[in-house]
Chain A
């Protein structure tokens, strides 16, 4: 470190180690046409997906485009409230900002007819009984608490129906349904 010369009057002061300059900016998020349509219908307890104009893949939740091809998705389709677990994770350690009771299960839920999964919680199921391919259904918040938010579905619970074979569950199902190796 080169020697720094300061006036003698401040020579004995403690050196500044860091400076805080807080910055706050506010945004009014623009969800876009797809997310807006999805959230409006989600508030009516309806789950919408979009259909890829390229190969007909059903994408849930809609993001406006088929991200694989950069193609605008303008056709919506209503999805059932049932699906299966494509993959899952059991969380055993507390995470700041999440006051869920431990352990809890996060899962990649594939709605029936959807070609992609989306993230949600699974409950009413002990972690050791959770498995890939397990059939689940949505448990919604009480009607008067539902709004235009991703939080409308409290969690997914097992239906007790027979599992999907492992080979057909989750993204593996994509290859099964297309009958060939897909890039997706």
Chain B
């Protein structure tokens, strides 16, 4: 496998942004290009992730290329998925041996529309989507199942809410009324507008661009069924498989940046992956507090890389999820060593 590293990243999240997507992304893309000293003509491949359903506009990602500057013409691609999958496509392109550098970015701006409605449209279009079930309620169905089965406890959800910082303490958690029973507000995400841009480079080039490149030592993504009825909602086989394939268990990790927008998903995923609950090993900015559809996953990868650049960690896990109830999962293991 060709060794590829993340060498620069920039991100921004705000609850409601008045900039449009182009105005939001220009400073981020400019920042990573300036930090690495690369201009667009020196970047082999550009790949982005975003959703037309958030923008309310067909082919909205084409407009956002105004933030990149595709003159002279560039090699470019897009996924209607979280940017973590754009990074995966880019990583494959590196493995093909056709590029040495790449720009990956993703963004989501849910504030102009109703994210709960947008999320409903990703469901099975015949039997489920016409019922417009909202994301909180679907997650509550899963949470109820897990609680009744004894797989998780409300104590664990409360602990997670405290860890994530949606409440200050457990008393505060239990004082909250339920929002979508059994979930409370503290269990559910606050949505944010935001974006992230990063530069990747292959071995040989990465060392020139960054003092301590964050090497991708393993990356894999897997998918569970689209139909809730055939899934066992008390387990996430796709996440477990992806983690194993990405080499998560080959060595200890110092930090796990997991993309869990609900406490129940955080608790479940940590159990499934056997991840430590030690707060020191958790992200400082939990996605529950600022969930940006299409960008949160890539943002986790950026944060996992940042910990390596800052020498706060040497081996990190970044996780991204997409689809209803963590249907699709991507695992990316980063290291300060090439391994």
B130 interface residue per 8 A CB criterion: yes
Residues of A within 8 A of B30 (CB): 70-72
Check A69/B22 contact, CB under 8 A, given A25-B117, A29-B56, A30-B112: no
Which of B63-71, B173-181, B238-246, B330-338 lies at the binding interface? B63-71
Residues of B within 8 A of A183 (CB): 71-72
Flag if A27 contacts B18 (CB, 8 Å). no
Question: Which residues of chain A from 153 to 184 have a CB within 8 Å of any chain B CB?
Answer: 183-184
How many B residues have CB within 8 A of the partner chain?
34
Please, how many angstroms separate the alpha-carbon atoms of A48 and B27 in the complex? 23
Please, how many angstroms separate the alpha-carbon atoms of A95 and B15 in the complex? 41
Residues of A within 8 A of B70 (CB): 67-68
Please, how many angstroms separate the alpha-carbon atoms of A111 and B21 in the complex? 27
A81 interface residue per 8 A CB criterion: no
Interface of A is mostly: loop
Q: Mark A11-38, 1 if CB is under 8 A from B, else 0.
A: 0000000010101011111111111100
Check A72/B126 contact, CB under 8 A, given A23-B121, A26-B113: no
Please, how many angstroms separate the alpha-carbon atoms of A25 and B58 in the complex? 13
Flag if A63 contacts B56 (CB, 8 Å). no
From B20, B66, B113, B121, A27 is in contact (CB under 8 Å) with B113
A86 interface residue per 8 A CB criterion: no
How near does chain A come to B66, taking the closest CB pair, in angstroms? 4
From A21, A28, A34, B23 is in contact (CB under 8 Å) with A34
B129 interface residue per 8 A CB criterion: yes
B263 interface residue per 8 A CB criterion: no
Flag if A30 contacts B69 (CB, 8 Å). no
Q: Mark B47-69, 1 if CB is under 8 A from A, else 0.
A: 00000010010000000011111
Instruction: Give me the 9 closest cross-chain CB pairs, A-B, nearest first.
Output: A32-B20, A70-B69, A67-B66, A27-B56, A69-B69, A68-B71, A27-B113, A64-B23, A21-B130
A-B contact pairs, 23 of them (CB 8 A): A19-B126, A21-B126, A21-B129, A23-B129, A25-B56, A25-B114, A25-B118, A28-B112, A30-B17, A30-B19, A33-B19, A64-B19, A64-B20, A64-B23, A65-B66, A66-B69, A67-B70, A68-B69, A68-B71, A69-B40, A70-B40, A70-B66, A72-B27
With A33-B19, A65-B26, A72-B30 given, can you name 7 additional A-B contacts, CB distance below 8 Å? A25-B53, A30-B111, A30-B112, A64-B20, A65-B22, A68-B70, A184-B71
